[in-house]
Structure 1
Amino acid sequence: MKCLVTGAAGFIGSHLCERLLAEEHEVVGLDCFTDYYPRAIKEQNLSRLRPQRGFTFWELDLSVEVPRSVLEGVQWIFHLAAMPGLVRSWQDFDSYNRHNVTATQRLLEAARALPTLRRFLYASTSSVYGKYASGDESLPTRPSSPYGLTKLAGEHLCRVYSETYGLPIVVLRYFSVYGPRQRPDMGYYQFVEALLTGRPIRLTGDGLQVRGNTFVTDCVEATVRAAEALPGETFNVGGGELATIREVIRLLERLTGQRAVIEHLPPRPGDQVATGADVSKLTRHTGWTPRTPLAEGLAQQVAWQRALLEKALPLRKAG
């Protein structure tokens, strides 16, 4: 297959590109390098992909244009590009509207003229459900943040283009994805870094928030399998293993050999209280089930972040 992956330089997108290339698909990667976190991190993600046969990359802002040459011959579109994060979405709604809504509409509009298209997969989020996101896909969608609202708007755009123009859309709602290459603003990354560097963990809320944790390779496996699912479906993608934030911190203490110092902060506006994906629908349609236990996945993330710090240490000493 010839695949287009938007957000290819990001956390999940770079893993997805690697998986598709390993299966000998042709991959066109696309990213616009928003200022949400340093470009150097995304460039490091891309460094594994650029030399590989079958991979081409475009630096492109979908909200501005989608050149025909980017989509030529594409059969699978994996639309992972988005402006992520909860807190900033309250402060910079224009950016979230631009990158999560306008960019999605531009891509859908371009895709409807694509005769080779077999599937358009839209990566959504558990945030569309709101503060209480535990259950199956029949849960009401009540976003509790502007971020969740814009991602739900993207889902509705996909539905409209599917119903009006027959686009073969599949929507995936990701739940709390973690693992190597996780974004530096995400909670588990910050917890691990604090433990490894001896700084306090800045904990928002009481730590009793429940998360259904999805290891990144399990997420990628679900995404690839969903490319063969019936169009028009929406699926939860989650790890099946629930833990409170406090339980995650205790596990990370064991994995790092360090004791956490907690700095308590007020809850963030719109933060989710509980997430837990019922993935039985995806299992029925594709046979996918999550395979990575939380302890094993976190051990891989700790090892990756430890290596990052060790690599950076000589640079700091030299500076």
Structure 2
Amino acid sequence: MPTSVVTGAAGFIGSHLVEALLHRGESVIGIDQFNDYYDPALKRQNIADAVQHANFELIEADIQTLDWSALLAEADVLYHQAAQAGVRSSWGAGFRTYTEQNVNATQILLEAAKDSKRLQRFVFASSSSVYGNAEAMPTSETLCPRPVSPYGITKLAAEQLCGLYHQNFEVPVCSLRYFTVYGPRQRPDMGFHKFFRAVLDNQPITIYGDGQQTRDFTYVSDAIAANLAAATRPEAVGAIVNIGGGSRVVLAEVIDTMAQIVDQPIQRRHIERAIGDARHTSADISKAQDKLGYQPQIKLLEGLQNEWEWIRSR
């Protein structure tokens, strides 16, 4: 039975990944420190079903405190999903947390991975934030990254470390640059979750700037499919790959779609543009199609409906 290790196992994407791996018949070790960036109780709900599974082991700990040599001695694949998330929180005094959790923790994992005799793949969760205000749309992986937030800087630094360990020690890494992942279990600080929650509370939603910014939205099950492919396809080793939803959408139009789903007008409150937010994102996914056989399956309307049903059910 293959064994996978998932960091950030109780998070939004990590918990979906754990369930997919268990469904495939794998043995899974999940690592999560349950920090208070958002309510840890929500993370425990995310992972509640997996905890009952005979092939799942949950370790509650900070990545930097564990004996990774021992953990990776039993692992075939390491999915590194853990990170200190959030663009807007990465400024100021909080930046040290981002360097600790996103850069230092990744380096610790890479050091252990280079000495592992069993590890077949190291899949790293990167971010479209590394591009910043990209000069070309859709954006390909060949474009020079220019992050516009401290968060983006730390994700790029971790990604670069992955590249160094691949080049120098042949660590079998693959870095996935996620473009705005959404769906059930989405973090409560993320846009769609906040918007739907505001509707339930009969409150206006807050929009940073004029609402004409665009995003490439990726449904969570598509992100999971990309991870599973990155773990198994030989051509993924050493690659940096965009993972997007396949279309670029104006935020104001997304909110119109959400209003149709909830069957009521959505009140909007515009505030000043957030420093560190890219104006536009759009993924060129041709490399993902070539290297991973990736093809997004869930369109935005269906994905939003799924997230709305999840939030309403809670």
Aligned to 1:60: 61
Which residue of 139, 143, 157 maps to 1:153? 157
Aligned to 1:315: none
- What secondary structure sits across from 2:309 in the alignment? helix
Aligned to 1:78: 79
Residue-by-residue CA offset, 1:234-255 (whole Å, 9 max, x unaligned): 1000101221110111011010
Aligned to 1:299: 305
Report if the CA contact (8 A) 2:199-2:266 is conserved: yes
Distance of 1:67 and 1:107 partners within structure 2: 7
Once the 2 structures are TM-superposed, how far is the Cα of residue 69 of structure 1 from its aligned partner?
Answer: 3.3
**Are 2:188 and 1:184 aligned?**
yes
Instruction: Note the 1:26-65 alignment, pairs <5 A.
Output: 26-65=27-66
Amino acid aligned to 2:216: G
- What secondary structure sits across from 2:51 in the alignment? coil
Distance of 1:166 and 1:210 partners within structure 2: 37
Distance of 2:118 and 2:74 partners within structure 1: 6
- What secondary structure sits across from 2:270 in the alignment? strand
- Percent identity over the alignment is 43
Report if the CA contact (8 A) 1:65-1:106 is conserved: no
Aligned to 1:98: 100
Report if the CA contact (8 A) 2:72-2:119 is conserved: no
Distance of 2:311 and 2:177 partners within structure 1: 26
Once the 2 structures are TM-superposed, how far is the Cα of residue 195 of structure 1 from its aligned partner?
Answer: 1.4
Once the 2 structures are TM-superposed, how far is the Cα of residue 5 of structure 1 from its aligned partner?
Answer: 0.5
Structure 2: gaps of 5 or more residues:
none
- What secondary structure sits across from 2:206 in the alignment? strand
Residue-by-residue CA offset, 1:8-51 (whole Å, 9 max, x unaligned): 00000000000011000111100111221010010101101101
- Tell which deviates more after alignment, 276-285 or 296-305: 276-285
Report if the CA contact (8 A) 1:175-1:212 is conserved: yes
Counting matched residue pairs gives: 308
Once the 2 structures are TM-superposed, how far is the Cα of residue 257 of structure 1 from its aligned partner?
Answer: 1.2
Distance of 1:67 and 1:167 partners within structure 2: 15
Aligned to 1:314: none
Aligned to 1:8: 9
Structure 1: gaps of 5 or more residues:
309-319
Once the 2 structures are TM-superposed, how far is the Cα of residue 67 of structure 1 from its aligned partner?
Answer: 4.0
Report if the CA contact (8 A) 1:134-1:274 is conserved: no
Distance of 1:306 and 1:126 partners within structure 2: 29
**Are 2:171 and 1:167 aligned?**
yes
Which residue of 259, 263, 269 maps to 2:269? 263
Aligned to 1:242: 248
Distance of 2:98 and 2:40 partners within structure 1: 18
**Are 2:210 and 1:206 aligned?**
yes
Once the 2 structures are TM-superposed, how far is the Cα of residue 270 of structure 1 from its aligned partner?
Answer: 1.2
Amino acid aligned to 2:150: P
Amino acid aligned to 2:149: S
Residue-by-residue CA offset, 1:275-312 (whole Å, 9 max, x unaligned): 1111111111222200101000000000000011xxxx
Amino acid aligned to 1:246: A
Which residue of 116, 119, 122 maps to 1:117? 119
Once the 2 structures are TM-superposed, how far is the Cα of residue 139 of structure 1 from its aligned partner?
Answer: 1.5
CA-based RMSD: 1.1
**Are 2:139 and 1:135 aligned?**
yes
Amino acid aligned to 1:49: A
CA separation of 1:14 and 1:62: change in aligned 2, threshold 3 A: same
TM, length-normalised to structure 1: 0.94
Which residue of 94, 107, 110 maps to 1:108? 110
Distance of 1:295 and 1:51 partners within structure 2: 32
Report if the CA contact (8 A) 1:119-1:227 is conserved: yes
Distance of 1:68 and 1:285 partners within structure 2: 29
Report if the CA contact (8 A) 1:195-1:259 is conserved: no
Aligned to 1:312: none
- What secondary structure sits across from 1:291 in the alignment? coil
Aligned to 1:317: none
TM, length-normalised to structure 2: 0.96
- What secondary structure sits across from 1:29 in the alignment? strand
Distance of 1:93 and 1:14 partners within structure 2: 26
